[in-house]
Structure 1
Amino acid sequence: MWAFLRTTLLLVMLVYSCAASSPLYSSSCQLQGQFHLNGMHKAGDVILGGLFQVHFFSLFPDLSFTSEPQQPICHGFDVLGFRQAQTMAFAIDEINRNSNLLPTVTLGYRLYDNCVQLGIGFRAALSLVSGKEEQIILQESCAGTPPVLGIVGDSSSTRAIAISTVLGLYRVPMVSYFATCSCLSDRGKFPSFFRTIPSDAFQVRAVIQILKSFGWTWAGLLISDDDYGLHAARSFQSDLAQSGGGCLAYLEVLPWSNDPDELRRIVDVMRKSTARVVIVFAHESHMIDLMEEVVRQNVTGLQWIASEAWTSAAVLQTPRLLLYLGGTLGIAIRRGEIPGLRDFLLQIHPDLHQNNSYGNNLVKQFWEYTFECRFAPPPAGWVEAGGALCTGQEDLENVETEYMDISNLRSEYNVYKAVYALAYALHDMLQCEPGRGPFSGHSCGSLQRLEPWQLVYYLEKVNFTTSFGDQVSFDENGDVLPIYDIMNWLWLPDGRAEVQSVGEVKRSPFKGEELTLDEDKIYWNFESKKPPRSVCSESCPPGTRMARKKGEPVCCFDCIPCSEGKISNETDSMECTSCPDDFWSSPQRDHCVPKESEFLSYHEPLGVCLAATSLLGTFICAVVLGIFTYNHSTPIVRANNSELSFQLILSLKLCFLCSLLFIGRPQLWTCQLRHAAFGISFVLCVSCILVKTMVVLAVFKASKPGDGAKLKWFGAVQQRGTVLVLTSIQAAICTVWIVSSSPAPHKNTQYHNDKIVYECVVGSTVGFAVLLGYIGLLAILSFLLAFLARNLPDNFNEAKLITFSMLIFCAVWVAFVPAYISSPGKYADAVEVFAILASGFGLLVSLFGPKCYIILLRPERNTKKAIMGRTIKS
């Protein structure tokens, strides 16, 4: 508030008192007061202004409001700020000696000290744009050049905002070399502001790229309580959210007042947080206060990331603090080389006897500070100069001082580029051809009537390359093509610190933003000598998905395994994706694998057993057929129609063989053939048994007097015809079924999610039911007839065998139906095969077992007499 009042009072003093000396042509204006500013100046055709931080502190006298305020006193000489001012003087001197750049114009300068105070910096800026002449004559034509055409400065975002707000009203160009606040990119508020240092917006993106490159998704952010810190925080949070590069564990504002309680609280937050990375957008003074509390609480194990404001702060690079700050990664202004600057710096000398181009109090103060001497008794509050008197003969080259160290030119390089930007813009403006200019009426700017707003137009289009190889041009917001060096604080064995460059981040017109890091050069201040892990939650591996923790940042999450049938093949996947229909998730849930195929196979024990049993039944049928063929003339074979017996053996053989169609991967032809072969072969078998039963009954009835004529209906031709007709009916049923709704292979996924069960769907349930029903009808009819003939004489006792065989057959197939319906997949096929084999073996053993026993083991009973006499014996 007091600074604002002082500034307001002194602004009033700038008002000129004008008296008309000629009411028609001219008037004169008298300056009512002046600011007493530290500065340097040099005459020229065109004057450029400069604002630099040459003193650290300022002392403002108390205001009495009864007398004119005294001027503030600046103290605490800043050698680096003075070197920046000298760099601007060197750049102007170099341009004046360049025959290709502004060959007909001599540049001059007015450089003022801002003393790191907004009020003083503002006074200096107003003095530059309004002039400091005691009296000026205003001509009717308003001819003449303004005091300065453009200003290089300021070094602070806060001061640059205040100054450029006023300068923007009159379109006076201001090119800053150190103000980084992203708010200054607002062209509506700051139409004539430019800068040769990247904005905080790019600095923030550079920091985010560093975080991404090392996988740091959980970090703390500390900021200064000013425009620099607050705008950086807003930009950082916005860009971090958009990029998805991580989250903030905490955001704390460092106090200006060095409040110990507040600093203690902030450091306690840092100590308790799981974030191992701390990003600081603050000034060197903030870091000094903060580190005192960090040392007191002994908070180690943190990876610091420094903004450009304190990356190169030598005051922090002490053995005591390197225990905590060693390994710091920082964003630094681009380092450049300025040939000839060292020789120029050596030429500075305070000439007390003549007012040369320097003849300024800043040069004298530098001399006094460097050699610890004084030219005159110092004013009150002046503490830099020692007690010795300066002779002016001191040798600057033999003194060890930061002033002569030009190995790390960063802010000076930006000053150098700012001066050249103004010079190139002025050069382009003066190259304009009359009648082809960009201004109203196609006019051009002339040296006699230069206007600052005209220079703004050309600054927006300036494009040149420095001798160091960097391209300089401004975008639509007045920002330069950004480039930063990435610095690392190396802790040397002797306890010293070395800040080394380990990469760079830049934006080019064609490639966009690029980060280059030499990770092998980076020093990590940890026992592992590797980058730390700084995450709220560890990355979710493939096979899992991220699940947000309620009420916590997005970087804090749980890893949930994917459910069956879903996978995630990327780290930190937000969701699991379903596998295609024929695929299933692997045990790790990180990729899809083909589903297992399930069908009754020849390669599994069940399939092998059933196939072997089928072949065994076929073999036994072949053996029985051979026995009956060999003994075809014996009574036991010839009894009860041997032709039907041979047909029955062949049909049983077909029944055993058809079971093989149910084993193996279902194909269209096997699905169609298996049920047709099964139905026809079993109908053929049961038809033979039915006809044999009917023949037995017919023969028994024919043995009674008067019934012999009935045997003509049961001759061999009739028997074969009956079997053929009954079998043809089943063939017709199968044909209609296959044509109308054919059985077909089907991939069933209902039984098991991770398996594909290959099965044959019957197509038409009605057709399958009719097929089974017809077989059952014949089997029941055979059973009933055989049951009626069970008490016939012994020579016709085959009816008992038929009764027993049909009883087994019907029992097997009655049990088959519910077992088939309730069995899934391949087991349904196994049940059907088992039913086929069981019924086949039941018929084979029941009908042909006793006969083979007699033929092979009791041949004495295989005679007509024995067969016919069994009734008498019994």
Structure 2
Amino acid sequence: MAFAVEEINRNSTLLPGVKLGYHILDSCDRYPWSLQSDYPIPLLIGDGSSTSSIILSHILSSVSVPILLLHLNRVNVTTPQGDMFYFQGSDIPAKYDLVNWQMNSKGQLNLILIGRVDGFDLQINESAIQWSSGSKQVPFSVCSEICPPGTWKVPRKGEPLCCFDCVPCAKGEISNKAGSLHCERCPAEFWSNFDQTACIPRQLDFLSFNETLGITLTTAAVSGAVVTTAVFVVFLYYRQTPMVRANNSELSFLLLLSLKLCFLCSLVFIGRPSVWSCRFQQAAFGISFVLCISCLLVKTLVVLAVFRSAQPGAGRLMKWFGPGIQRGSVFLFTSIQVIICTLWLSLSPPVPERDVGLEGSKVTLMCVMASVLGFSLVLGYIGLLACTCLLLAFLARKLPDNFNEAKLITFSMLIFCAVWVTFVPAYASSPGKYVVAVEIFAILASSYGLLLCIFTPKCFIILWRPERNTKKHVMGR
């Protein structure tokens, strides 16, 4: 035995990192001498006498030290405390039936037999072992059942290690085997399944034409474009009447065209974002609204110029502010926005990105503003024109006329400014795809406000009060 232990210790491949040791005492066939050992030991090898080994096993069972029995002349195993007996030898007569042992243990089957009987392997038929409960099933000596997949073990304070609670994994975390000590977090673009046992790819989420919100916004945008087209047809049919001619028909047609573009540009924001859609939607939005506000601004300037030219010595004012200058002014105001959008989209355009910051089983695909400055310039220029138009229209609202368009422009621009002032904080605080929905809502709300405030009174007179569609009634004083 000493030689075997030393050989094992010399060979680092047999028990890596482990060194075996031993301590040998001679009992001299005296039972009391067998008990004279003060060394803490993990295993005891009995002496030549089985009687001494059995006496030692009863004593050492209280401290859970197993003993290896070298020789047994008689086998009678009764282990009320779950003693562990190890034996080997060839002097056990084959006539002993080693299969029909009755175990009185209160714990598991911790009896291990090693050896040979009459040259044959010694085997135990575990199915023939009957426990004190009357069952042949091995009883569980544990406090808690093993934790299933999808949960992890949390030890109970002040209780043995076998006592623990099974806590479900948090959302986005999994455990795919029983008895896990912790849960593993899923990668960024994956999420846990319903049972928290596997990571599955997240679904792409964006404002689509198929969902309820997308259908609602699409219907509102198409309806606005249809109504604008209907108003355009009415104005075109009645273009020779005083009501249409008195309100600068050319700018009215251009305003209706720009409003239709405003309604239609909102559709570009719906659907799966792409490189070109992210660029085109902001350019279409910025240019369409500047064209619209430019028409209203020039209309307001025309109203002021008309009444200013009626004063003595100002007759040439309208000659300098004729149709050509009006068209040129609209073109100039719109060109500035085109330049801003071109520079923005050329240097740092919006790009589609996946937002995985939100907790959940979906990844939001959205257009991200690479340059906040570019978007701010687009909105700021629209706001500058809108505020200028509102101020001029407010100054011209009380000029003498039965049908002063400045009153309508004032009210419409108040609605326009209120919508876009509310839009900024709502846009900054909205999560995921609802950022797009907020911008579409602002586009539609302001477009409907301009369309209804400016053209509803005119269409009402043209279609339902034709007797008021006369030069005398329109001009008034």
* TM-score band, normalised by shorter chain: 0.7 to 0.9
1:824 CA displacement: 2.0
Cα distance in 2 for residues equivalent to 1:256 and 1:812? 98
Q: Would you say the 8 A contact 2:150–2:168 is kept in 1?
A: yes
- Match of residue 193, structure 2, among 582, 586, 596: 586
Q: Does residue 124 of structure 2 align to residue 487 of structure 1? A: yes
1:567 CA displacement: 1.9
Q: How does 1:544-559 map to 2 (within 5 A)?
A: 544-546=151-153, 559=166
Aligned to 1:185: 4
3-state SS of 2:102 partner: helix
Counterpart of 1:488, as a letter, is: N
Cα distance in 1 for residues equivalent to 2:348 and 2:154? 50
- The one-character-per-residue Cα deviations of 1:266-305 (angstroms, maximum 9, x if unpaired) are 58x99xxxxxxx98744647963x62x74xxxx8xx8998
3-state SS of 2:52 partner: coil
Q: Would you say the 8 A contact 1:281–1:309 is kept in 2?
A: no
What TM-score does the superposition give when structure 1 sets the normalisation length? 0.45
Q: How does 1:311-460 map to 2 (within 5 A)?
A: 322=102, 324=104, 331=113, 333=115, 410-412=117-119
Aligned to 2:178: 571
Cα distance in 2 for residues equivalent to 1:333 and 1:225? 25
1:539 CA displacement: 2.7
1:748 CA displacement: 2.1
Q: Does residue 43 of structure 2 align to residue 233 of structure 1? A: yes
Q: Does residue 356 of structure 2 align to residue 749 of structure 1? A: yes
Q: Would you say the 8 A contact 2:93–2:118 is kept in 1?
A: no
Counterpart of 2:125, as a letter, is: N
Counterpart of 1:661, as a letter, is: V
- Match of residue 696, structure 1, among 273, 288, 303: 303
Counterpart of 1:669, as a letter, is: W
* 1:286/1:529 CA distance change after superposition, 3 Å: closer
Q: Would you say the 8 A contact 1:802–1:847 is kept in 2?
A: yes
- The one-character-per-residue Cα deviations of 1:345-365 (angstroms, maximum 9, x if unpaired) are xxxxxxxxxxxxxxxxxxxxx
Deviates more, 1:793-802 or 1:538-547: 538-547
- Match of residue 759, structure 1, among 347, 359, 366: 366
- The one-character-per-residue Cα deviations of 1:89-115 (angstroms, maximum 9, x if unpaired) are xxxxxxxxxxxxxxxxxxxxxxxxxxx
Counterpart of 1:589, as a letter, is: Q
Q: Does residue 429 of structure 2 align to residue 822 of structure 1? A: yes
Cα distance in 1 for residues equivalent to 2:119 and 2:276? 89
Deviates more, 1:532-541 or 1:631-640: 532-541
3-state SS of 2:337 partner: helix
Aligned to 1:525: 130
3-state SS of 1:602 partner: coil
1:746 CA displacement: 2.1
- The one-character-per-residue Cα deviations of 1:125-173 (angstroms, maximum 9, x if unpaired) are xxxxxxxxxxxxxxxxxxxxxxxxxxxxxxxxxxxx6xxxxxxxxxxxx
Aligned to 1:661: 268
Cα distance in 2 for residues equivalent to 1:593 and 1:667? 24
- Match of residue 256, structure 1, among 41, 52, 73: 52
Q: How does 1:470-869 map to 2 (within 5 A)?
A: 486-488=123-125, 522-523=127-128, 525=130, 530=137, 532-535=139-142, 537-546=144-153, 559-752=166-359, 754-868=361-475
Cα distance in 2 for residues equivalent to 1:263 and 1:329? 14
3-state SS of 1:322 partner: coil
Aligned residues: 440
* 1:842/1:832 CA distance change after superposition, 3 Å: same
Q: Would you say the 8 A contact 1:548–1:558 is kept in 2?
A: yes
* 1:524/1:644 CA distance change after superposition, 3 Å: farther
Deviates more, 1:856-865 or 1:613-622: 856-865
3-state SS of 1:700 partner: helix
Q: Would you say the 8 A contact 1:332–1:487 is kept in 2?
A: no
- The one-character-per-residue Cα deviations of 1:410-469 (angstroms, maximum 9, x if unpaired) are 4446xxxxxxxxxxxxxxxxxxxxxxxxxxxxxxxxxxxxxxxxxxxxxxxxxxxxxxxx
1:835 CA displacement: 1.0
- The one-character-per-residue Cα deviations of 1:556-614 (angstroms, maximum 9, x if unpaired) are 65544434433221223344332111012234321112234333232332222112111
1:810 CA displacement: 0.9
Q: Would you say the 8 A contact 2:355–2:364 is kept in 1?
A: yes
What TM-score does the superposition give when structure 2 sets the normalisation length? 0.79
Aligned to 1:29: none
1:709 CA displacement: 1.0
1:534 CA displacement: 5.0
Cα distance in 2 for residues equivalent to 1:695 and 1:188? 110
Q: Which runs of 5+ in 2 are unaligned?
A: 9-14, 16-33
Select the structure of larger CA radius of gyration: 1
Deviates more, 1:725-734 or 1:754-763: 754-763
1:752 CA displacement: 3.0
* 1:185/1:226 CA distance change after superposition, 3 Å: farther
Cα distance in 2 for residues equivalent to 1:753 and 1:848? 46
Q: Would you say the 8 A contact 1:303–1:532 is kept in 2?
A: no
Cα distance in 2 for residues equivalent to 1:730 and 1:328? 86
Which of the pair is proportionally richer in strand?
A: 1
Cα distance in 1 for residues equivalent to 2:295 and 2:74? 109
1:188 CA displacement: 6.2
Cα distance in 1 for residues equivalent to 2:373 and 2:339? 14
Q: Which runs of 5+ in 1 are unaligned?
A: 1-160, 162-182, 190-200, 202-223, 236-253, 271-277, 335-409, 414-483, 490-521
